[in-house]
Amino acid sequence: MRLSRRAAFGAATMLFAVPRVARAQSRRFRLGHNNSTDSVLHAAAMGFDAALKAASDGRYGLEIVPNSALGSEAEMLKAVTEGTLDMTIAPVGTTAALVREVGLLETPYLFRDAAQARTALDGALGQHCSALLRDKGLVVGAWGEVGFRHITANRPIRDPSALRGLRIRVPLSEAIMESFRAMGAAAEALPFPQLPEALRTGRFEAQENPVNIIVAAQLQRFQSHLSLTGHVYTPAAMAVSNEVLEEVPAADRALILAAMPAGAVASRQLADRMESAGLDQLRASGMTVVTDVDGAAMRAATAPARERLSAVFGADSVRRMTGLVS
């Protein structure tokens, strides 16, 4: 049987069209973050990747690029909002460059414990912050965990008096900066990849980070004491570019976002494990872990910082954020 010209053309069109449709619905999204492969951010990326592959029968997955290989936190975040990078997992202080109010998540002593923080971020507080960021082209599908921050130095930090004049590195977070300045420390922001060298050369006498980050970066090489201050809880936005999300079918957009909470859970699980195992590892390496920190005095000393944040961010924003915690 001979095919007509029209039929032959139609058959050829179908032959080439099917692979194009399949390709359009399959993709490896590039996700960048600034931590090492044994960090909580990488655990979040891996958990998200596994859930995404399972939910899409392998059609979607991630190309995970760690260690700031695609740029600084700020550069990667900007690239995601512009659609030149697909996804990132960014500590909340970085996202505050897009929406200042979101930075209030790092208000000192905002959360009582990890359970309260996770419940709030999985609920109304997280939804509020995600909505603010979506207006800037950043779609947050879940809030992963960096963790509660503690201070390392070459001496114990048991109360605010030990911080006076101390040269301490802080992340790009206005709330954290204000809290340490309120306690009399000489706080200065520095991108995380530059931190080990800055401690080695003595540019800073101290720094503060969650236990999992301290272990992953081996900061015990430069600091002899870890004081468990738990002064700030840092979440991380698991985010996809709005432009990139719109390139996939509507049903698949929901699938992608629904896979992100698995990454948040993975980051929290690793953070929990490292709070105990990490401390044991640091002690074994010779680091002194200081547990008798005067938490009440530390909290009281940050009161001026909270007042300053109300003046800078607006009292209504502060009340709204704190009200969404409980």
Task: Inform me whether the pLDDT recorded for 13 exceeds 60.
Answer: no
Task: Inform me whether the pLDDT recorded for 113 exceeds 90.
Answer: yes
Q: Under a CB-based contact definition with an 8 Å cutoff, are residues 231 and 179 in contact?
A: yes
What percentage of the chain has pLDDT greater than the value 90? 88
Mean pLDDT of 66-77: 96
Tokens of 12: 């050829």
In the prediction, which pLDDT does 9 show?
41
Reference 258, options 142, 143, 146, 144; nearest CA is 142
**How would DSSP label each residue in 92-152?**
HHHHTTT-GGGGGGG-TT--SSHHHHHHHHTTHHHHHHHHHHHTTTEEEEEEEEEEE-EEE
16 to 10, 12, 21, 22: CA distances (angstroms): 10, 6, 9, 11
R_g of the chain, CA atoms, integer Å: 23
Which residues are 138's β-sheet partners?
241
Mean pLDDT of 155-172: 97
13 to 6, 21, 26, 119: CA distances (angstroms): 10, 12, 21, 52
Task: Inform me whether the pLDDT recorded for 74 exceeds 70.
Answer: yes
* Candidate CATH numbers 3.50.50.60, 3.40.190.170, 3.90.1150.10, 3.20.20.70; the one for domain 27-323: 3.40.190.170
In the prediction, which pLDDT does 8 show?
43
Mean pLDDT of 193-207: 97
Give the Cα separation of 274 and 272 in Å (integer). Answer: 5
Question: At 25, which amino acid appears?
Answer: Q
Single pTM value for the model: 0.90
pLDDT in tens, 233-284: 999 999 999 999 999 999 999 999 999 999 999 999 999 999 889 999 999 9
Give the Cα separation of 83 and 246 in Å (integer). Answer: 10
Domain boundaries, the chain: 27-323
Task: Name the more confident of 220 and 306.
Answer: 220
Tokens of 110: 């905002």
Binning pLDDT at 50, 70 and 90, where does residue 149 land?
very high
Residue with tokens 């697909």, as numbered in its chain:
86
In the prediction, which pLDDT does 326 show?
74
Question: At 114, which amino acid appears?
Answer: A
In the prediction, which pLDDT does 219 show?
98
Q: Under a CB-based contact definition with an 8 Å cutoff, are residues 213 and 146 in contact?
A: yes
In the prediction, which pLDDT does 276 show?
87
